[in-house]
Structure 1
Amino acid sequence: MNSGIEVIAAERQRQIEKEGWDSKHDNKCNDDEQLTFAAICYATPRRLRGFSGIDVNTRLWPWALKWWKPSAVESTEGRIKELAKAGALIAAEIDRINNLK
């Protein structure tokens, strides 16, 4: 079993290697906290995503809905994948902000 930081680091590496979302891409294509909002969406527990009729997908998701890819089933493994995505997006946002300095 990998630690949380290892799971997040592996997800960030996957985003860079398989999706091409490296720091250069993030610096060019993301401003106005998009990476943070995406992380919030993945970190939000399922039971709150549709609370009071507010759909996180349409209210907070910063990009086209085709990029919203929550886990298909509610399970421990699925939740870990969503939290890994959230953590990796936060790491990407930290890197993007650091690159502004």
Structure 2
Amino acid sequence: MELTKAECDVLDERRRQQEVEGWTPEHDDQHNNGEMPRAAGLYAISAGFATKYLDGETETCPVPDGWPWAPQWWKPTNARRDLVKAGALILAEIERLDRAALPPNAK
């Protein structure tokens, strides 16, 4: 089965987060207080808001309440790109949960 463009974009963003930003699995494992799913949710909410009210543009959206990291890491662009970021953050969180569920000798 061939991946869709959306699937490829989410996987590419996840790879970019790791290779360019340096967010390794070890780094992600430190974010065990819901930071990644909260960030993903806020990007998705921003995309939804922008789709309805801002013609899909999110780059002027302010840092939302509940953003789990420093303000400079809030980087909205447009609804689709923000959803790709959200998808990659969700994937990162699922991977983190899977690693956390492994027995200690399997990590």
TM-score (norm 1): 0.78
Question: Which portions of structure 1, spanning 4 or more consecutive aligned residues, are displaced by more than 2 angstroms?
Answer: 55-58
Could you tell me whether the CA contact under 8 Å between 2:42 and 2:64 is conserved in 1?
no
Q: Which amino acid aligns with 1:17?
A: E
User: Relative contact order, CA 8 A, sep 6+: which one is greater?
Assistant: 1
Aligned twin of 1:94? 94
Task: Kindly name which structure, 1 or 2, has the bigger radius of gyration based on alpha carbons.
Answer: 2
Could you say what the CA RMSD is over the residues aligned between the two structures, in angstroms? 1.9
Aligned twin of 1:75? none
Count residues with an aligned counterpart: 87
Q: Any stretches of 5+ residues in structure 2 without a counterpart?
A: 53-60, 102-107
Aligned twin of 1:46? 49
TM-score (norm 2): 0.73
Q: Any stretches of 5+ residues in structure 1 without a counterpart?
A: 49-54, 72-77
How many Å separate the matches in 1 of 2:81 and 2:66? 19
How many Å separate the matches in 1 of 2:43 and 2:32? 19
* Identity rate, percent: 38
